[in-house]
Amino acid sequence: MFRIGNGYDVHRLKEGRRLILGGVDIPHPLGLDGHSDADVLLHALADAILGACGARDIGAHFPDTDPRWKDVSSLLILKEVGKISSGRGYSIANADTIIVAEKPKLASHLPAMKMNIAAALDIAAAQINIKATTTEKLGFAGREEGIAAYAVVLLSENNH
Ligand code: MG
């Protein structure tokens, strides 16, 4: 009746890229590098949803060799993943996520990220939780070499 999935993603920080997290364009001297907009939060969340419905991962559905996904908003990817999940007969019960970034401060952007995710998945903002943490300057995130995100999702089967 219930299915759980988790997701994890990392992208490298570099100059000359926008920093997009949860579909929000955040002012910062460094942005995340990748084939799409490199939105680690949405990638981790999309992977958690695919994992929960037993549908492999975003690399399988949205390969970075496919020009269709070059520089697209990851909100589109998340929306597609939401359709895969609902197509298999599942509804999202809730999602809990963590962004791991030394900088910038993200607290003021979390409500907008929640709204974006809720809209893309056609669920209520109250079903999404987003946390942000630093690693106390330890490791790649602490050295500001990259940003990571974790997500856990619970799906419920529609006919139960
Ligand atoms: Mg990614």
Name 148's bridge partners: 10, 100
Question: How far does the centroid of ligand 1 lie from the alpha carbon of residue 45, in Å?
Answer: 10
Question: How far does the centroid of ligand 1 lie from the alpha carbon of residue 32, in Å?
Answer: 10
State what percent of residues in the chain have pLDDT above 90.
91
Question: How far does the centroid of ligand 1 lie from the alpha carbon of residue 70, in Å?
Answer: 12
Per the prediction, the chain carries an average pLDDT of: 96
Q: Indicate the pTM of the whole model.
A: 0.97
Average pLDDT over residues 87-112: 98
Question: How far does the centroid of ligand 1 lie from the alpha carbon of residue 160, in Å?
Answer: 33
Question: How far does the centroid of ligand 1 lie from the alpha carbon of residue 78, in Å?
Answer: 12
Round to whole Å and give the CA distance between 152 and 96.
Answer: 5
- The pLDDT confidence band at residue 160, using thresholds 50, 70 and 90, is low
Phi then psi for 89, rounded to 5 degrees? 90, 20
User: Which uninterrupted H or E stretch holds 137?
Assistant: none
Which pLDDT belongs to residue 159?
81
Hey, is 87 helix, strand or coil?
Answer: helix
State what percent of residues in the chain have pLDDT above 70.
99
36/82: higher pLDDT: 82
The number of domains in the chain is 1
Question: How far does the centroid of ligand 1 lie from the alpha carbon of residue 116, in Å?
Answer: 18
Which pLDDT belongs to residue 64?
83
Which pLDDT belongs to residue 141?
98
pLDDT in tens, 24-79: 999 999 999 998 899 999 999 999 999 999 999 999 999 888 888 888 899 999 99
CATH number at residue 65: 3.30.1330.50
Round to whole Å and give the CA distance between 123 and 110.
Answer: 16
Range of the domain at 60: 2-157
